[in-house]
Amino acid sequence: MAESPNGLKGLVEPTELVAWLREHLPATGRLVSDSRRVGKGDAFFALHGRRQDGSTFIAQAVQQGAAAVVVAIPAQACQAEDAAEGDVVQAEHAACGNFDYFKNLPTLPAGIQVPVCYVPCLGSQLGALADEYYDHPSQVLDVVAVTGTNGKTSTTHWIAQGVNDRLARTGDAQAVDANTPSRPAASASTQRPAEFAGLVIALDGDADAAMQPGRGRGVVIGTNGVGTPGALEYIGLTTPDPLTLQTLFQRFRADTEAPVGVVAMEASSIGLVQGRMQGTCIHTAVFTNLTRDHLDYHGSMQAYGAAKVGLFSWPTLQAAVVNLGDPLATEIIEVLHRHTAAPRIIGYWVNNAHGAPQAGQADAAFQAMDDDARARLRRFYELAMRCDEVLELALDRDSSQHVLMMFPGSVVKTLLQLPEVGADPVASSGGAGSVHGRQQRLQAMFRNVATLRLNVLGRFNMENALAAAGAWRSLGWNFPAIVEGLHQLHPVPGRMEIVGLPAAQVSDAGEAAPAAAISSTACPLVVVDYAHTPDALTNVLAALRDIAGQRGGQLCCVFGAGGNRDRGKRPEMARAVEAVADRVVVTSDNPRDEDPAQIIADVCQGLSKPAWRTEADRRVAIDAAIAQAAPADVVLIAGKGRETTQEIAGVFHPFSDPEFAAQALASHWALKTREVPHA
């Protein structure tokens, strides 16, 4: 403990600060670093950021009822002008060797009558501090952390949605005991799918075993907000700051009226680097994919990938769910095999290389593949062998009914009789013994099989659905429950969301229903999606390209790029859109502190020909795209999803893509079907 010249004490250890807080706060007191969220009895933490110094908001926090104030002692290292936002943790840690903690103490506002303490090197301790103060709330919750460039929001929503749907069907929630830690990975009602248009074969002992009672409802923490899907509270960050995160865990644990059992949270790369999740007991880590994004922060794809991989060395990890179709899976599985806790590894893969499996045709199907497809399949098998269990969805190109399989990774090597590394992973012909052995393994591989239809658009969403299924498996669900969960999925708001005409504006009954909208050509099909990276745009547009073809129309994309973010991806986004869309509309996203016209110019550098339209006013761009579309066309509005504001020059203006798109449909298409020529 260091002491200042004026007698103020710096509490260095989190346990010492916890004791100080408990002495000065009521039992309901929270730890808050945003002065706008301070309530009566809370402790306000005045932290240092790149743009603002929390000490300037002490008076506001006290006025709102703060019972105590904790001030981070400024160190010269963490006040450097070029320090990146969030790097305070590293900077303060480096400065802890400097004993002159009190050289530049911030001046307290006059008249502050609440206890104040000054703490050096506070940034690196926030997560552990909050976890200790709240008495380790995440330990009694099943926390599933999902990381990846794309798919985090959909995956977390579907994890929680599945938990809640199962709870509604079975009513088997078990009260969460504050002294009971989260469950061990795996083993999970003998309840069979109620409505299921397909075959389910579940013969493995543990895959068809009785499931444990649910610990409570599922909630999400992420881009769209916090809480139960469909009733979210927006908090601003994909991964909240350490104090907010642990406060949320405490809130979930304390909810006795609607107990929470599973928390599906988005783990952003920046949040991981900044240590926002420190102190969290993570049960399952999920990896979706890695493509270009956030290089303005990380600097390189290598550093970006390393941030994602770091989640899989989390000390409390009991299980990991990994997309075996992504190149980063190899590194992640290496890390997991070195993990001292030996977490269970569940791999997943959407296989569209050769459709649904057919008995006796595997070798012929492999030989018929092109080299790329063959390489992907070979890599999948090599990774599957290193997993404890694998979920594979084989897509049938000729129908919407696909085949889901769940099998132990251990069956793959013997099944395929893999020769030396580098050779084709296809069993060579052999004697009767080898054929018999292969048949046995084949039977083992197909002991858990189901045919199903997924109510989602696009291959990427099928991957996200499998990621959710892997998380359910890690929580103890059996195979029939997983199949039922997938069968019940419905789209996530702002993710491939179909915008319908307002009910009062629909001329034909049922026309506004999303299912009808896909097949109906009474008006353009308008879709809102959060896609804001080149890869995400490619995936979404590829799915909509097929739909546009079925409708006999063209595909238009309205998109922009965010300000104060990776400028290098802007032309790449344009190239991705131009490669698939018939018409390109470049507009503003969240310009933030940049000139919208300059952002648009940066984006257009990636186009081989002028955009169909450039328009800085996003609302005007949306209206024009919908107004000038033909009835059979598909219009994608990409980048913001269900965001409710647009940030321009530091001001957050109310803005909703779905709302403005619905208004445009009502304005231009409500009366009757009409033909509009392409401009």
Q: Is residue 378 part of a domain?
A: no
Cα dihedral 574, 577, 581, 585 sign? negative
Helix (H, G, I), strand (E, B) or coil at 669: helix
User: Are residues 574 and 475 located together in one domain of the fold?
Assistant: no
Q: Is residue 419 part of a domain?
A: no
Dist CA 40 CA 30 (whole Å): 9
Q: Does 274 belong to an annotated binding site? A: yes
- The answer to whether 217 and 259 are in contact (CB under 8 A) is yes
Give me the domain span that covers residue 22. Answer: 14-79+95-123
- The answer to whether 268 and 239 are in contact (CB under 8 A) is yes
Domain of 342, CATH number, reads 3.40.1190.10
Rounded to 5 degrees, φ, ψ at 388 are -75, -35
- The answer to whether 599 and 590 are in contact (CB under 8 A) is no
Q: Does 153 belong to an annotated binding site? A: yes
β-strand partners of 448: 202
User: Are residues 223 and 263 located together in one domain of the fold?
Assistant: yes
**Left if phi > 0, otherwise alpha if psi is -120 to 50, otherwise beta: which for 409?**
alpha
User: Are residues 484 and 574 located together in one domain of the fold?
Assistant: no
> What is the total count of domains within the chain?
3
Q: Is residue 183 part of a domain?
A: no
Domain of 50, CATH number, reads 3.40.1390.10
Q: Does 591 belong to an annotated binding site? A: yes
Residues near 273 by beta carbon (within 8 Å), at least 6 away in sequence: 86, 297, 298, 307
Distances (CA, A) of 262 to 175, 388, 390, 666: 12, 23, 22, 40
Q: Does 288 belong to an annotated binding site? A: no
Q: Does 179 belong to an annotated binding site? A: no
**Structure confidence at residue 190 (pLDDT):** 39
Q: Does 299 belong to an annotated binding site? A: no
Query: How would you class 6 by CB atoms within 10 Å of its CB: exposed for 0-12, middle for 13-18, buried for 19 or more?
Result: exposed
User: Are residues 473 and 554 located together in one domain of the fold?
Assistant: no
Amino acid at 65: G
Q: Does 268 belong to an annotated binding site? A: yes
Q: Does 148 belong to an annotated binding site? A: yes
Among 409, 488, 388, 145, residue whose Cα is nearest residue 288:
145
**Structure confidence at residue 215 (pLDDT):** 77
Domain of 553, CATH number, reads 3.90.190.20
Rounded to 5 degrees, φ, ψ at 408 are -70, 140
- The answer to whether 305 and 575 are in contact (CB under 8 A) is no
**Structure confidence at residue 529 (pLDDT):** 92
User: Are residues 623 and 529 located together in one domain of the fold?
Assistant: yes
Dist CA 617 CA 621 (whole Å): 6
Q: Is residue 518 part of a domain?
A: yes
- The answer to whether 78 and 91 are in contact (CB under 8 A) is yes
Q: Is residue 469 part of a domain?
A: yes
Structure tokens at 121: 């090197």
User: Are residues 536 and 571 located together in one domain of the fold?
Assistant: yes
Q: Does 592 belong to an annotated binding site? A: yes
User: Are residues 625 and 511 located together in one domain of the fold?
Assistant: yes
User: Are residues 65 and 148 located together in one domain of the fold?
Assistant: no
Dist CA 53 CA 40 (whole Å): 22
Kindly write down the DSSP assignment for every residue of 67-95, as one continuous string.
Answer: SEEEEEPP-GGGG-TTPPTTTHHHHHHHH
**Structure confidence at residue 513 (pLDDT):** 42
Pairing of strands 217-222, 225-228: antiparallel
Rounded to 5 degrees, φ, ψ at 173 are -65, 140
Distances (CA, A) of 572 to 343, 608, 610: 37, 12, 15
Q: Does 244 belong to an annotated binding site? A: no
- The answer to whether 12 and 121 are in contact (CB under 8 A) is yes
Dist CA 200 CA 314 (whole Å): 35
User: Are residues 502 and 483 located together in one domain of the fold?
Assistant: no
Q: Is residue 637 part of a domain?
A: yes
β-strand partners of 583: 556
Q: Outline where 488-533 has alpha helix (H).
A: 514-519
pLDDT along the chain (679 residues), means of 10: 45 72 94 94 88 86 94 57 40 45 66 85 85 96 94 94 90 52 47 54 66 83 89 84 95 93 93 90 96 76 89 97 94 96 96 53 55 78 93 76 88 61 46 55 73 83 95 94 91 85 38 57 91 90 89 96 92 96 96 96 96 97 96 96 91 94 91 40
Q: Does 149 belong to an annotated binding site? A: yes
Structure tokens at 66: 């703060």
User: Are residues 559 and 475 located together in one domain of the fold?
Assistant: no
**Structure confidence at residue 77 (pLDDT):** 38
- The answer to whether 653 and 644 are in contact (CB under 8 A) is no
Q: Does 316 belong to an annotated binding site? A: no
**Structure confidence at residue 26 (pLDDT):** 96
User: Are residues 154 and 289 located together in one domain of the fold?
Assistant: yes
Strand positions, DSSP E, 288-378: 319-323, 344-351
Q: What is the dihedral of CA 528, 530, 534, 540, to 10 degrees?
A: -40
- The answer to whether 346 and 319 are in contact (CB under 8 A) is yes
Query: How would you class 39 by CB atoms within 10 Å of its CB: exposed for 0-12, middle for 13-18, buried for 19 or more?
Result: middle
Q: Does 151 belong to an annotated binding site? A: yes
Q: Does 239 belong to an annotated binding site? A: yes
Q: Does 491 belong to an annotated binding site? A: no
Q: Is residue 656 part of a domain?
A: yes
User: Are residues 101 and 220 located together in one domain of the fold?
Assistant: no
Q: Is residue 208 part of a domain?
A: no
Q: Does 152 belong to an annotated binding site? A: yes
Q: What is the CA radius of gyration of the chain?
A: 27
Q: Does 238 belong to an annotated binding site? A: yes
Dist CA 49 CA 92 (whole Å): 12
Q: Does 400 belong to an annotated binding site? A: no
β-strand partners of 345: 320
Start-to-end C-alpha separation, the chain = 72
